[in-house]
């Protein structure tokens, strides 16, 4: 009699960070994942506003609305802060890797810490956002005392997508204009994707 061998396919698992020698003792850490559908349903125009709408992101953030008058060193920048600690206690990663912090200027002001500028990363280029809520992860060390925010980019994207947004107040004194475009081409071996973003706020 003929016997058919069953073929099993393993589901793809992407590990953001691991410390393999202690994996069995420590176990998995609590990670919350937000995909593109979650971000689109929120109606938030940028990465900063979406993160600010999450319950775990509360006080001590650096919002762009407080930095547009040139009174401190983070003009036009925004930072995320978990658990109400200083922004430098939250580690921000892009595709699981550390990125260069915002170049703090020479102007005096309340912002005197290093952080990753969220406004330098267009929301249209983000596939999902992972937030590690555990503040004592041995994988990332003292940079992640409050937790980790991992921004995962849209790599395997083909086609083009553009968004335009304009808003203002009743008294026409706080106009906002934002536009973004993402494009990508490729095949099974090569992928090329890029994103551009323009943001202006009175």
Q: Is residue 36 over pLDDT 70?
A: yes
The token duo for 98 is: 């550390």
- pTM of structure: 0.76
In angstroms, the CA 118 to CA 46 distance is 9
pLDDT tens sequence across 97-124? 998 888 765 455 555 567 888 888 888 8
In angstroms, the CA 41 to CA 95 distance is 23
Mean pLDDT of the chain: 79
Which residue in 158, 165, 170, 150 sits closest to 198, CA to CA?
165
Q: Is residue 33 over pLDDT 70?
A: yes
Least confident interval from 61-75, 91-105, 136-150, 187-201? 61-75
Which residue in 119, 131, 97, 126 sits closest to 199, CA to CA?
119
Burial class, 36, CB count within 10 angstroms (exposed 0-12 / middle 13-18 / buried 19+): middle
- For residue 93, the model assigns a pLDDT of 93
- For residue 31, the model assigns a pLDDT of 83
The count of residues in the chain is: 202
pLDDT band at residue 25 under the 50/70/90 scheme: low
């Amino acid at each position: 009699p003929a016997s058919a061998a069953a073929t099993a396919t393993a589901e793809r698992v992407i590990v953001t960070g691991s410390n393999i020698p202690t994996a069995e003792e420590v176990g998995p850490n609590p990670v919350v994942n937000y995909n593109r559908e979650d971000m689109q349903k929120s109606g938030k125009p940028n990465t900063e506003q979406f993160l600010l709408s999450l319950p775990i992101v509360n006080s001590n953030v650096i919002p762009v609305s407080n930095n547009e008058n040139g009174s401190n060193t983070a003009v036009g920048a925004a930072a995320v802060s978990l658990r109400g600690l200083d922004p430098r206690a939250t580690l921000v990663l892009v595709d699981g890797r550390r990125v260069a912090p915002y170049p703090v200027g020479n102007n005096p002001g309340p912002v005197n810490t290093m952080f990753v500028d969220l406004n330098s990363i267009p929301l249209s280029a983000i596939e999902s956002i992972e937030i590690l809520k555990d503040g004592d992860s041995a994988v990332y060390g003292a940079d992640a005392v409050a937790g980790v925010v991992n921004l995962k980019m849209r790599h395997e994207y083909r086609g083009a997508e553009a968004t335009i947004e304009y808003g203002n107040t009743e008294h026409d004194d706080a106009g906002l204009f934002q536009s973004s475009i993402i494009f990508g081409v490729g095949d099974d071996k090569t992928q090329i994707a890029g994103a551009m973003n323009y943001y202006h706020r009175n």
